Amino acid sequence: MRRTTVLVSLFMVAPLYAADLPSAESKITLGVGVAYGSEYVGGKKNKVSPILYADYQAANGFFAGMRGIGFQAEKGIFDGSIALAYGGSRGDDIANFSDTKSKFKGMGDIKSSALLNLGAGVNLWDVAHLSLGAELKLNHRENGNAYNVGLSAPIYSTEADQISISAYAHYADAKYAQTYYGVTAAQSRASGYKAYSPKAGFDTGSLTLTWNHAINKNWGISSSVGGQRLFKSAENSPLTESKNSPTASMIVAYSF
């Protein structure tokens, strides 16, 4: 399973990314905070994890930080991005949280991969933003690829405060589903789990309420609360303990 700490970097700090779109000036944003969620995707135990956030956004669209290294641009109502990133690992000693290590004993390692992340979005009549994304493996391609779709909408906005709601769905191809949710015959013999071969499809979805508050021109707070739901291949996996999990985060950030 993917670790919750990985998801933190993808989802919990996403509200800060929106503030880092190309502008007239380059900007560095540093943040620290906490996140609450399951130990791993499909786990029944929840934990509090620290968040460290760092991002450089150049005026010309270049960025580097937690999103990886890449470029993003806007043209009218459309926006897009391309980035090189790294992640997606799992080991028998995953995180060493409580009994999580024994949970994956015999399942083997999933090697980290270099990733090509692609994104595209469109503003819908100034009331919502639709986004599409792809997470493509550049090596260890046997681990499969994933895709996502998101829809966000502001529900309250002032000069200092923005509150929005967003929905997100994650799609796994057959190789990805097998890697993160499946159990091969060899893994079944080593771990004791029943063999399982999931199909491609939407594996997770989430609904999040976000509040961004600007303290002044440099300092800000981003907080979110929501929930995640597992679908089909993930929900039916013998590795899954719970198909629903809460998510929450708070980050204090400084931009200069």
Percent of the chain with pLDDT over 70: 86
| CA atoms of 201 and 173, how far apart (whole Å) | 6
CATH architecture of 4-255: Beta Barrel (2.40)
DSSP conformation letters of 183-236: B-HHHHHHH-PPPB-PPSEEEEEEEEEEEEEESSSSEEEEEEEEEEEE-HHHHT
| CA atoms of 199 and 182, how far apart (whole Å) | 9
pLDDT the model gives residue 100 = 62
pLDDT in tens, 88-100: 777 544 444 445 6
Average pLDDT, the chain: 88
CA atoms within 13 A on the CB side of 56: 9
pLDDT the model gives residue 22 = 56
pLDDT the model gives residue 7 = 40
Residue 18 has pLDDT above 50, yes or no: no
Q: From residue 217, give the alpha-carbon distance in Å to each of 6, 31, 53, 88.
A: 29, 15, 18, 35
Residue 70 has pLDDT above 50, yes or no: yes
Q: From residue 20, give the alpha-carbon distance in Å to each of 15, 52, 223.
A: 9, 16, 16
Residue 131 or 39, more confident:
131
The pair phi, psi for residue 12, each rounded to 5°, is: -65, -40
- pTM of the predicted structure, to 2 decimals: 0.87
pLDDT the model gives residue 91 = 55
Residue 199 has pLDDT above 90, yes or no: yes
Residue 3 has pLDDT above 60, yes or no: no
Which residues have C-beta within 8 Å of that of residue 186, sequence separation ≥ 6? none
